[in-house]
Amino acid sequence: MTQIKPRKVLEKIKPYSPGKPIWELQEELKLDKVVKLASNENPQGPSPKGVAAISAGLADLHRYPDADTVSLKEAISKKLTVEKDQVIVTNGADELITLISEAFLDQGDEIIVPSPSFSEYDFGADLMGATVVPVPFDEGFQFNVERMIDAITDKTKLLYICSPNNPTGTYLAKAEFEKLLKAVPDHVLVVFDGAYSHYATAEDYTDGIEFVKAGYPILVLQTFSKVYGLAGLRVGFGVAPREVTQTILKVKEPFNVNSLAQAAAIAAINDDKHVEVSKESNATGAQTLYKEFSELGLSYVETMSNFVLVQLGPDAENIYQSLLEKGVIVRYGKIWGLPEYVRVTIGTEEENTFFIEKLKEVLNK
Ligand SMILES: *Cc1c(COP(=O)(O)O)cnc(C)c1O
């Protein structure tokens, strides 16, 4: 038995528990077919240009990657028309959330998070001994900007907005976001998580980048794991005022983004066709799921993203389990305090059909 005491704050933290991988479920239940609609991955697969770039980079694997990710930063800054030193590249956006926390949070500081949202924000705060101040959504999981502004204190350091929000699929309208930014005092950094920005189609949606350009104290976070289909490679990035990116660089490991990931991301961000196809398939899939849910009498939250939060009622946990046993992996909502809901990633046409077929079997419809 070891007497080595972990840091006090770790008492609050449990290791991340991922959804079951496909192979595990398949082996466990001897299933022929398993469809995973649990992690909001791109069902179209990776950007083909990204895959090609990886093959080209294999011969140089004996070299360390570019610690400064110069070429990728160039590609990102060109795509988004921001300055290169406004960009920071990380090992997935998850790493960026940890780095932001390490760079800005002292013990006792506060972060404001709409609730329910992405769990990594809380993890970053817990890790640093900071306090999470959750702000519940309004009816229909709509953001309440006034309540977020009211939650700001002298101790607030970070205020998170995930738009479209994971797990609800709802978004914050541009005018509302602007109102928030104007009300936020100087000592607060607004972190805008745009992991699903590409999927948002509402006229009044903003991906936040224009507010970085306008000089607001905001960091916009994006990822290559979702629409670009490169979740297995782990690349994400942030766009923020120069002083913010330079501060975060102080806590970054030198070689955090591997060379294959850098190469693939450069190719993927310019693969407009792959992005277009992915968005179109997602929009069609959303309509299919809406129609089927309506016919089954299930309420759902209209999504601006690549997943749908659907209300299965008091029996949701059993339905979720039965779906698992039939080879469909979705995310059960209890972790977000939504025990009557599951979140289902919009899949390919075939995956959506399989999911609906199994759902009907489980519901005896
Ligand atoms: C998936 C996701 C991310 C980023 O994921 P990485 O794979 O770490 O880049 C960030 N924010 C939200 C809300 C997500 O759902």
- pLDDT for 254-307, tens place per residue? 999 999 999 999 999 999 999 999 999 999 999 999 999 999 999 999 999 999
The best mutation among 96, 101, 193, 233 to test binding of ligand 1, ranked by most ligand atoms within 8 Å of the C-beta, falls on: 193
Quote the pLDDT of residue 23: 86
Residue 194's Cβ-side half-sphere holds a number of Cα atoms within 13 Å equal to 23
Radius of gyration of the chain, Cα coordinates, nearest whole angstrom:
21
Q: How confident is the model at residue 29 (pLDDT cuts 50, 70, 90)?
A: confident
The best mutation among 97, 98, 117, 225 to test binding of ligand 1, ranked by most ligand atoms within 8 Å of the C-beta, falls on: 225
* Calpha distance 184→229 (Å, rounded): 34
Quote the pLDDT of residue 21: 81
Q: Please give the average per-residue pLDDT across 132-139, as a whole number.
A: 98
Average pLDDT taken over every residue of the chain: 96
Kindly state if the Cβ of 94 falls inside 6 Å of ligand 1. Answer: yes
Q: How confident is the model at residue 22 (pLDDT cuts 50, 70, 90)?
A: confident
The angle formed by the CA atoms of residues 333, 336 and 342, to the nearest 5 degrees, is: 15
Cα(61) to ligand 1 centroid in Å equals 26
Kindly state if the Cβ of 114 falls inside 6 Å of ligand 1. Answer: no
pTM tops 0.85, yes or no: yes
In CATH terms, the fold of domain 8-45+273-363 is Aspartate Aminotransferase, domain 1 (3.90.1150)
In 3-state terms, what secondary structure has residue 331?
strand
Which residues are 344's β-sheet partners? 308
CA distances from 362 to 19, 327, 331 (A): 20, 12, 16
Q: Crossing angle, helix 92-104 and helix 242-249, to 10 degrees?
A: 90
Q: Please give the average per-residue pLDDT across 66-85, as a whole number.
A: 98
In 3-state terms, what secondary structure has residue 309?
strand
The model's pLDDT over 195-234, given as tens digits with 9 standing for 90+, comes to 999 999 999 999 999 999 999 999 999 999 999 999 999 9
Q: Whose CA is nearest to atom 4 of ligand 1?
A: 93
User: Which atom of ligand 1 is nearest the CA belonging to 236?
Assistant: 9
Quote the pLDDT of residue 20: 74
Q: Check pLDDT > 90 for residue 317.
A: yes
Q: Check pLDDT > 80 for residue 49.
A: yes
Kindly state if the Cβ of 199 falls inside 6 Å of ligand 1. Answer: no
Quote the pLDDT of residue 303: 98
The angle formed by the CA atoms of residues 179, 140 and 309, to the nearest 5 degrees, is: 115
The model's pLDDT over 138-189, given as tens digits with 9 standing for 90+, comes to 999 999 999 999 999 999 999 999 999 999 999 999 999 999 999 999 999 9
Q: Please give the average per-residue pLDDT across 87-100, as a whole number.
A: 98
What the block records as the tokens of 28 is: 């466990």
Q: Check pLDDT > 80 for residue 191.
A: yes
Taking domain 48-271, whether its CATH number is 3.40.640.10 is answered by: yes
Quote the pLDDT of residue 365: 86
In 3-state terms, what secondary structure has residue 3?
coil
Domain residue spans in the chain?
Answer: 8-45+273-363, 48-271
